[in-house]
Amino acid sequence: MSSLLIIGGSDAGTSAALRAREVDANAQITVVLADRFPNYSVCGLPFYESGEVPDWHWLAHRTAEEISGEGISLLLDHKAQSINAKRHEVTVVDTGGQARQLGYDRLVLATGALPVRPHIPGIDLPGVFLLRSMQDSFAVHEYLDTHIPRSAVIVGGGYIGMEMADAFVQRGLAVTVVEHGVSVLKTVDESLGRLVSAELQHHGVEVITDVAIERLVQADKQLYVMGSQEFSTAADLVLVAVGVQPQTGVAQSAGIALGEHHAIRVSRAMETNVPDIFAAGDCVETWHRLLQAPTYLPLGTTAHKQGRIAGENAVGGHREFAGALGTQVVKVFDLVVGRTGLRDGEARDAGFDPLTVESTVWDHKVYYPGAHEIRIRITGDGKTGRLLGAQMVGHYHGEIAKRIDIFATALFHGMRVDDLNDFDLSYTPPVSSPWDPVQMSAQAWVKQCQ
């Protein structure tokens, strides 16, 4: 009977364990977790903080009992400390500091990512938080309940920052978002980022851009946030959300090579350079389907897919990761923002000849009540007509997520922009038009390209 040891039990780790069990009913599978929350949705944490998800238990994709019911052993509250690849052993330590060695035939690393902790004086002050784990969310939630803060500053205008601005407003806080760049949501172009800023301001959020936070100071039970351009403001709570970085310490102890952005280098079969060790999820680099090269894309959807492949291959399978496109979507109050593929500058850096065209279209027939405008930016190759990427901003009810998925599907199959017009898409006046907004934006791109 072969033994499979998995370090990390979030999206990638649990997916690996469940897929390995499907492929090999007899494998001995153990998942080691540094905490006691297997397979919880990190992406759902802002909605727990807002109160939209009132019980944190609901964030579990699968409960510990459900995972154990599949014949998978869970070792909770044990942190992997080091790997002895020659002996096929992992040293783990429990919360009391007691160490033990676990043997394996095959090992899957799914250690995930950590929030970037910038070198800001005062970041360790009470009332200053990062948000990445269940424990982080409990700390924020308790502070909201016990201290009843009236104001919050969010450092960082990325996805977590946007969702937490929404969450804090729903909790009745006055919110300020401070972004180092020229606009919030740097994963989309500035023109779309400005629409998001307008939506934040519409809901009472103050948006500050082009400011780098330099220090945090506590005085008179208040936190003072100070930055470049003489920026200064006071708040009862500060959330720092400036990105994540792969957690690779235990991998490096085994001599595992790192690649893009210091993430674990893996083959498309999710193999590391060390025999019998696989890796998946936010700790690894990701094969980009358009670039045909590795990059770093820490996304839950990608982690699930990579974990499934790592788990299958660890028990004798032969699957390869098809590649990611960076398809992402986020809800900010009444807006939804989506993107997939490459933006103009990214495409140019990759050697393409990009043309980006922006269109404004209605999400359904305007004569039917409730129509909203969608802003769509398509990037295609001006020489070949190949679709390279798309970005969208529209109302929550405008099916933005599913429409960005149409672009993602076309990108996955290497289609041209004009090919979108051949798609047989559904239509009824309350939800679309005879030409879907995706197709109307494609027609605008083709017209501009001619």
**Enzyme catalytic residues:** 43
Rounded Cα–Cα distance for residues 53 and 445 (Å): 41
Q: In the block, which residue shows the tokens 């400005």?
A: 194
DSSP-derived letter for residue 189 is: -
Rounded Cα–Cα distance for residues 36 and 441 (Å): 47
DSSP-derived letter for residue 197 is: H
Q: In the block, which residue shows the tokens 């090919």?
A: 419
Give the burial class of 422: count Cβ atoms within 10 A of its Cβ; 0-12 exposed, 13-18 middle, 19 or more buried.
exposed
Q: How far is CA 70 from the centre of its chain?
A: 27
Q: Do the beta carbons of residue 190 and residue 183 sit within 8 Å?
A: yes
Rounded Cα–Cα distance for residues 370 and 365 (Å): 9
Q: In the block, which residue shows the tokens 């009992």?
A: 65
Question: How would DSSP label each residue in 50-77?
Answer: HTSS--GGGGBSS-HHHHHTTTEEEE-S
Count the neighbouring beta carbons within 10 Å of the beta carbon of residue 221: 9
Q: How far does the chain reach from its first CA to its final CA, in angstroms?
A: 63
Q: Do the beta carbons of residue 239 and residue 152 sit within 8 Å?
A: yes
Q: Do the beta carbons of residue 333 and residue 322 sit within 8 Å?
A: no
Beta strands in 328-372 (DSSP E): 328-332, 335-341, 354-362
Give the burial class of 219: count Cβ atoms within 10 A of its Cβ; 0-12 exposed, 13-18 middle, 19 or more buried.
exposed
Rounded Cα–Cα distance for residues 9 and 73 (Å): 11
Rounded Cα–Cα distance for residues 284 and 310 (Å): 12
Rounded Cα–Cα distance for residues 153 and 129 (Å): 11
Rounded Cα–Cα distance for residues 81 and 293 (Å): 31
Question: How would DSSP label each residue in 156-172?
Answer: --SHHHHHHHHHHHHTT
Q: Do the beta carbons of residue 159 and residue 166 sit within 8 Å?
A: no
Which 3 state secondary structure label does DSSP give 300?
helix
